Amino acid sequence: MPTSTRVPNLLDLTIDNITPNTIRINSQCQNPRLKYLMERLVTHLHDFARETRLSTDEWMTALNFLVACGKISSDVRHEFILLSDILGLSLLVDSINHPKPPSSTEGSVLGPFHTHDAPTLPNGSNMASDPEGEPLLCICTVKDTAGRPVEGVKIDIWETDSSGHYDVQHSDRQEPSERCVMVSDSEGRFWFKGIKPVSYPIPHDGPVGKLLETLNRHCWRPAHLHFMFEKEGWDHLITALYVRGDPYETSDAVFGVKQSLIIDIGKADAATAKEYDFPEGGLLLKHEFVLTTKEETEKLRDENAMKALAALGLRMKLVDHLPVPDLD
């Protein structure tokens, strides 16, 4: 039994007093950040029910939908990330956490298909094993906002095969394919062979697909290549490059596309073909990624947070870069 005198008497709770009482009993929590998260969560959850006069059937349908999302999730499928993606939450959380100065590469959604078993390959390797895919040579550099190359960045790269499926979506997957890890060299360069990305539907055989259908939304993503950049001291960059002219360029089911991330695919000339051991006239993608330091991003994020919270009329302070109510 709780002994603190701050705990309210939980009796005769009603539409009007359930929210402050739930918040008060959760306030026994010692962690101010979690306390704040729970306070906002309970407030929004209850306001949602009050503003919609949520019916018992709708409530039950929603809870069963959530069970179904959990049931279909596995080591290689995260239906709740997908749900977060199609509700715009993933894009929002990424934007909050990884603000970008104008000169740096913008982020995009992670999606549910990154894995941790991709092989680290040397520059020039072919990460694709799909014979139907159209070979694509990618020549990239990683720089800082002052234009200096960044060496030793770990880069995760992943894309679908030519049928629009990630390797993990094939039940007979033996080993990673169309994915690899590279490390930028002393000039910030990394280059590899993949295949031309194709548009594809996000997994729509589960509850999220059914929701999209009910909402009369399509489930397609425009063709893209995923990239994730990691190096101690640098802001973790999750992004993707989108092929210009895709029919879903302006209607991505998961809201990931940014103008600055739309790229043109060209053709390898004779010199490039020779240098990179690639057929002349083959498809070529050249791109420069610009990373920000962890410090730059944290400073920008903290400033943005305090500005946005003040604009919302909230009096907050940052503890470990996360807002909590400023009660002093």
Residues 96-125 interacting with a second copy (rule: CB under 8 A): 96-97
Residue from 41, 103, 187, 245 binding a second copy (CB under 8 A) = 41
Residue from 5, 6, 51, 270 binding a second copy (CB under 8 A) = 51
Candidates 48-56, 123-131, 163-171, 182-190; binding stretch for a second copy (CB under 8 A):
48-56
Residue from 148, 171, 250, 277 binding a second copy (CB under 8 A) = 250
Q: Helices 207-214 & 56-72, crossing angle to 10 degrees? A: 130
Interface pattern 122-141 for a second copy (x via CB under 8 A): --------------------
What residues contact residue 209 under an 8 Å CB cut-off, 6+ apart?
Answer: 202, 203, 219
Work out whether 58 is an interface residue with a second copy (CB under 8 A). yes
What residues contact residue 138 under an 8 Å CB cut-off, 6+ apart?
Answer: 157, 191, 192, 193, 194, 225, 285, 286, 287
Closest CB to a second copy among residues 215, 271: 215
Closest CB to a second copy among residues 13, 183: 13
**DSSP codes, 101-154:** -TTSPPP----S---S-PPB--TT-B----TTSPEEEEEEEEEETTS-B--S-E
Residue from 166, 191, 234, 248 binding a second copy (CB under 8 A) = 248
Tokens of 27: 């306030």
Closest CB to a second copy among residues 262, 273: 262
Q: What is the footprint of a second copy within residues 255-274 (CB under 8 A)?
A: 255, 257-259
Number of residues that bind a second copy (CB under 8 A): 92
CB 209 within 8 A of CB 203: yes
Q: What is the footprint of a second copy within residues 74-93 (CB under 8 A)?
A: 78-81, 84, 87-93
DSSP 99: -
Within 10 A of 71 (CB to CB), how many other CB atoms are there? 11
Closest CB to a second copy among residues 146, 327: 327
Candidates 154-162, 246-254, 263-271, 277-285; binding stretch for a second copy (CB under 8 A):
246-254
User: What does the alpha-carbon distance between residue 319 and residue 281 come to, in Å, rounded to a whole number?
Assistant: 54
Closest CB to a second copy among residues 233, 313: 313
Residue from 73, 125, 145, 272 binding a second copy (CB under 8 A) = 73
Q: Which of 121, 134, 140, 184 is nearest to 160 (CA)?
A: 134
Residue from 49, 183, 273, 300 binding a second copy (CB under 8 A) = 49
CB 86 within 8 A of CB 254: yes
